[in-house]
Structure 1
Amino acid sequence: MKSTSQPQPTVFIIFGGTGDLAWRKLAPALYNLYLDGWMPDHFSIIGTGRTKLSDEEFREKLLEGINLFSRSGKAKKEQWETFSKNIYYQVSDLNDSKTYQELGSRIESYETAWNEKADLIYYLAVSPNFFPIIADNIAKKCPEAGLDRTRIVIEKPFGHDLESAKALNKQLQGIFDEKQIYRIDHYLGKETVQNIMAFRFANALLEPIWNRNYIDHVQISVTEQLGVEDRGGYYDGAGAMRDMVQNHILQLLCLIAMEPPINLDADEIRNRRVDVLKSMRRFDADAIRFSAVRGQYGHGWIEGKEVPGYRDEPEVNPESNTETFAAVKFFVDNWRWQDVPFYLRTGKHLSQSASVISIQFKNIPHSIFPPEAAENWQQNRLVFSIQPEMSIRMQMQAKRPGLDMTLNPVDLVFDYSGTYHGKPPEAYETLLLDTMLGDQTLFMRSDQVEAAWDLIMPILHAWESKKSLSFPNYPAGSWGPENAEALIAQDGFHWFTLPLNGKHG
Structure 2
Amino acid sequence: MEKSTADSSNQPLENSEPETGCLSIIVLGASGDLAKKKTFPALFNLYRQRFIQSNEFHIFGYARTEMSDDDLRSRIRRPIPALGFSIFLCYICLQSGLVQMKYTSGSYDTEEGFRLLDKQISEHEEAKSSADGSCRRLFYLALPPSVYPVVCKMIKLCCMNKCGWTRIVVEKPFGKDLESAEKLSSQIGELFGEHQIYRIDHYLGKEMVQNLLVLRFANRLFVPLWNRDNIDNVQIVFREDFGIEGRGGYFDEYGIIRDIVQNHLLQVLCLVAMEKPVSLDSEHIRDEKVKVHFFFMEMQNLNQSVEPIKDEEVVLGQYHGYRDDSKVPDHSNTPTFASIILRIHNERWEGVPFILKAGKALSSKKADIRVQFKDVPGDIFNCEKQGRNEFVMRLQPSEAMYMKLAVKQPGLEMSTVQSELDLSYKQRYHGVTIPDAYERLLLDTIHGDQQHFVRRDELKAAWDIFTPLLHRIDIGELKPISYQQGSRGPAEADELLLRAGYIRTHGYRWIPPAL
TM-score of the superposition, structure 2-length normalised? 0.89
| TM-aligned CA distance change 1:121 to 1:214, over 3 Å | same
SS for the counterpart of 2:247 is: helix
Question: Could you report, residue by residue, the CA deviation over 1:363-383 in whole angstroms, capped at 9, with x for unpaired residues?
Answer: 1111222x4xx4863211100
Task: Tell me the equivalent position of 1:156.
Answer: 172
Deviation (angstroms), 1:345 = 0.7
| TM-aligned CA distance change 1:218 to 1:279, over 3 Å | same
SS for the counterpart of 1:207 is: coil
Q: Report matched runs for 1:54-133 at 5 Å.
A: 54-64=68-78, 69=83, 74-75=88-89, 79-82=93-96, 85-116=99-130, 117-133=134-150
Deviation (angstroms), 1:82 = 4.0
Aligned pairs, number: 485
Structure 2: distance between partners of 1:336 and 1:315? 45
Task: Tell me the equivalent position of 1:213.
Answer: 229
| TM-aligned CA distance change 1:73 to 1:35, over 3 Å | same
Structure 2: distance between partners of 1:90 and 1:74? 23
Structure 1: distance between partners of 2:165 and 2:268? 30
Task: Tell me the equivalent position of 1:305.
Answer: none
Q: Report matched runs for 1:279-428 at 5 Å.
A: 279-281=295-297, 284=306, 288-298=310-320, 309-369=321-381, 371=382, 374=383, 377-420=386-429, 421-428=431-438
Structure 1: distance between partners of 2:505 and 2:57? 46
Q: 2:67 aligned to 42, 53, 56, which one?
A: 53
Structure 2 gap segments, 5+ residues each: 1-17, 301-305
Deviation (angstroms), 1:72 = 6.0
Structure 2: distance between partners of 1:468 and 1:76? 47
Amino acid at match of 2:148: F
Q: Report matched runs for 1:130-141 at 5 Å.
A: 130-141=147-158
Task: Tell me the equivalent position of 2:7.
Answer: none
Structure 2: distance between partners of 1:175 and 1:496? 53
Question: Could you report, residue by residue, the CA deviation over 1:188-247 in whole angstroms, capped at 9, with x for unpaired residues?
Answer: 000011011111111111111110111111001101112111211111111111111110
Structure 1: distance between partners of 2:504 and 2:463? 25
| TM-aligned CA distance change 1:89 to 1:482, over 3 Å | same
SS for the counterpart of 2:210 is: helix
Amino acid at match of 2:38: K
Contact 1:28 1:65 (C-alpha < 8 Å) held by counterparts: no
Moved more, 389-398 or 459-468: 459-468
Alignment partner of 1:43 is 2:57:
yes
Task: Tell me the equivalent position of 1:301.
Answer: none
Structure 2: distance between partners of 1:436 and 1:297? 41
Q: 2:254 aligned to 204, 228, 238, which one?
A: 238
Q: 2:33 aligned to 13, 16, 20, which one?
A: 20
Structure 2: distance between partners of 1:496 and 1:236? 35
Structure 1: distance between partners of 2:45 and 2:404? 35
Structure 2: distance between partners of 1:198 and 1:71? 31
Moved more, 426-435 or 76-85: 76-85
Deviation (angstroms), 1:399 = 1.0
Alignment partner of 1:433 is 2:446:
no
Contact 2:94 2:100 (C-alpha < 8 Å) held by counterparts: no
Deviation (angstroms), 1:415 = 1.3
Structure 2: distance between partners of 1:83 and 1:250? 42
SS for the counterpart of 2:182 is: helix
Deviation (angstroms), 1:90 = 0.9
Deviation (angstroms), 1:456 = 0.6
Aligned-residue Cα RMSD (Å) equals 2.4
Structure 2: distance between partners of 1:153 and 1:287? 31
Contact 2:41 2:90 (C-alpha < 8 Å) held by counterparts: no
Task: Tell me the equivalent position of 2:512.
Answer: 502
Contact 1:121 1:152 (C-alpha < 8 Å) held by counterparts: yes
Deviation (angstroms), 1:107 = 1.3
Contact 1:11 1:46 (C-alpha < 8 Å) held by counterparts: yes
Structure 1 gap segments, 5+ residues each: 299-308
Question: Could you report, residue by residue, the CA deviation over 1:400-456 in whole angstroms, capped at 9, with x for unpaired residues?
Answer: 211111111221111111121232110000000001111100000000111000001
Contact 2:481 2:490 (C-alpha < 8 Å) held by counterparts: no
Deviation (angstroms), 1:74 = 3.6
Task: Tell me the equivalent position of 2:495.
Answer: 486
Contact 2:309 2:465 (C-alpha < 8 Å) held by counterparts: no
Contact 2:203 2:264 (C-alpha < 8 Å) held by counterparts: yes
| TM-aligned CA distance change 1:68 to 1:476, over 3 Å | closer
Contact 2:387 2:503 (C-alpha < 8 Å) held by counterparts: no
Amino acid at match of 1:490: R
Moved more, 224-233 or 450-459: 224-233
SS for the counterpart of 2:370 is: strand
Alignment partner of 1:142 is 2:159:
yes
SS for the counterpart of 2:220 is: coil
Question: Could you report, residue by residue, the CA deviation over 1:101-151 in whole angstroms, capped at 9, with x for unpaired residues?
Answer: 0111111101110123321111111111110001011111113347x6110
Moved more, 7-16 or 95-104: 7-16
Question: Could you report, residue by residue, the CA deviation over 1:337-370 in whole angstroms, capped at 9, with x for unpaired residues?
Answer: 011000111011111111010001111111222x
SS for the counterpart of 1:105 is: helix
| TM-aligned CA distance change 1:90 to 1:66, over 3 Å | farther
| TM-aligned CA distance change 1:63 to 1:496, over 3 Å | farther
SS for the counterpart of 2:253 is: coil
Moved more, 96-105 or 7-16: 7-16
Amino acid at match of 1:176: F
Contact 1:258 1:273 (C-alpha < 8 Å) held by counterparts: yes
SS for the counterpart of 1:216 is: strand
SS for the counterpart of 1:149 is: strand
Amino acid at match of 1:322: T
Structure 2: distance between partners of 1:359 and 1:294? 23
